[in-house]
């Protein structure tokens, strides 16, 4: 997805994306609540922005909130606001995200991460179209378009008691499911072209282009992090390239190579080219990719066992990651 919200700027010629674009056009003029599902990195917020930008509220605020990023003890005050003295540290009255979205659109991302105690208050705000600030009794009337998104299976969460059924049904008036990148690979060349242009412009770099072989290698990768991972991989790759080069498979990260023998051959070539020992290269590889992959995956990429990787970490003085 692009950073802009206009539906005309959403990237995608595949049938799943064309179906989504038609649905965006259909629901945008109305106030109906929309629930957007899909894996992390698929571009759910951009779909929400597109709905807002095609709606009569396009000139009013679009307020995006990542529910999973706010500490549980603060999220109620962040959403609904608070009055002075409502709790320790509340030195002044402050409006919350609901009020900031007044007359516009409120987008609650990762709504499945909300605690049950807060879900009932979200439900009341949607049903009554009003909120009460923390520490206050006076209701504040709302006029907002509400859009939510999740990477969770809320049907299952409802069944298992982690998400309120009444809130789920209230949210799920219109459902949009954004497919992962691996299910819409026809769109991948479009994303690559868009990201290469925007990254080169941002970094002041020049590229001759992207080879068909590199596109083929990218099509063969699973992209667990979806479009966000593709953008990150391309930026990382372009940063390491000289100007006026053609982006080829050898420039792409080693973890994208599916065949172990070919992966190890490329490791040797890159290590020799940079005059590194294979052990030095392995350490650099682990430092570079340990935030994106588990210990088992890193070991597999390097062609060693997890136990060997653990021993190497001890020798390098490189602590294990959170994985």
pLDDT at position 322: 54
pLDDT at 254: 76
Give the pLDDT score at 13: 86
Whether residue 227 contacts residue 1, with contact meaning beta carbons closer than 8 Å, is answered with: yes
Q: What is the pLDDT of residue 6?
A: 44
Q: Give me the pLDDT at residue 173, please.
A: 95
Per-residue pLDDT of 122-132, as tens digits, reads 999 999 999 98
By the 8 A CB rule, do 31 and 38 touch?
no
The CATH topology of domain 7-179 is: Rossmann fold (3.40.50)
What is 219-285 written as a DSSP string?
HTS--TTHHHHHHHHHHHHHHHSPTTEEE-GGGS-GGG---HHHHHHHHHHHHHHTT--HHHHHHHH
Pick one of 3.40.109.10, 1.10.8.60, 3.40.710.10, 1.10.10.10 as the CATH number of 180-252: 1.10.8.60
Cα–Cα distance measured from residue 264 to residue 279, given in angstroms and rounded to the nearest whole number:
13
3-state secondary structure of 313: helix
Low-confidence ranges of the chain (pLDDT < 50): 1-8, 260, 323
Domain ranges of the chain: 7-179, 180-252, 260-323
- pLDDT computed for residue 5 by the predictor: 39
Q: What are phi and psi of 288, to 5 degrees?
A: -70, -35
pLDDT at 83: 79
Quote the pLDDT of residue 37. 97
Residue 258 pLDDT: 61
Phi first, then psi: give them for residue 37, nearest 5 degrees: -110, 160
**pLDDT value at position 263?**
56
């Amino acid at each position: 997805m692009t950073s802009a919200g206009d539906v005309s700027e959403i990237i995608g010629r595949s049938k799943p994306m064309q179906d989504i674009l038609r649905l965006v056009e259909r629901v945008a003029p109305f106030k109906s609540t929309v629930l957007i599902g899909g894996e992390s990195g698929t571009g759910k917020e951009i779909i929400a922005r597109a709905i807002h930008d095609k709606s009569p509220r396009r000139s009013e605020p679009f307020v995006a909130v990542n529910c999973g990023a706010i500490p549980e003890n603060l999220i109620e005050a962040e959403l609904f606001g608070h009055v002075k003295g409502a709790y320790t540290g509340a030195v002044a009255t402050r409006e919350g995200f609901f009020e900031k979205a007044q007359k516009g659109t409120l987008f609650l991302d990762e709504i499945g991460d909300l605690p049950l105690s807060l879900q009932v208050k979200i439900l009341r705000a949607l049903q009554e179209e009003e909120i009460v600030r923390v520490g206050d009794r006076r209701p504040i009337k709302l006029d907002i378009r509400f859009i939510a998104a999740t990477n969770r299976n809320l049907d299952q969460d409802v069944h298992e008691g982690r998400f309120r059924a009444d809130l789920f049904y209230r949210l799920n008036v219109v459902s949009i499911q954004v497919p992962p990148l691996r299910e819409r690979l026809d769109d991948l060349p479009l994303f690559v072209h868009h990201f290469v242009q925007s990254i080169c412009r941002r970094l002041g770099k020049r590229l001759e282009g992207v080879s068909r072989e590199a596109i083929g290698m990218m099509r063969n990768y699973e992209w667990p992090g979806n479009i966000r991972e593709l953008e990150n991989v391309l930026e990382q790759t372009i940063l390491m390239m000289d100007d006026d080069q053609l982006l080829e498979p050898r420039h792409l990260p080693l973890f994208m190579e599916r065949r172990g023998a070919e992966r190890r051959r490329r490791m040797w070539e890159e290590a020799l080219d940079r005059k590194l020992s294979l052990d030095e290269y392995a350490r650099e590889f682990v430092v570079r990719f340990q935030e994106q992959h588990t210990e088992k995956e890193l070991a597999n990429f390097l062609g060693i066992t997890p136990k060997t990787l653990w021993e190497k970490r001890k020798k390098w003085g490189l602590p294990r990651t959170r994985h």
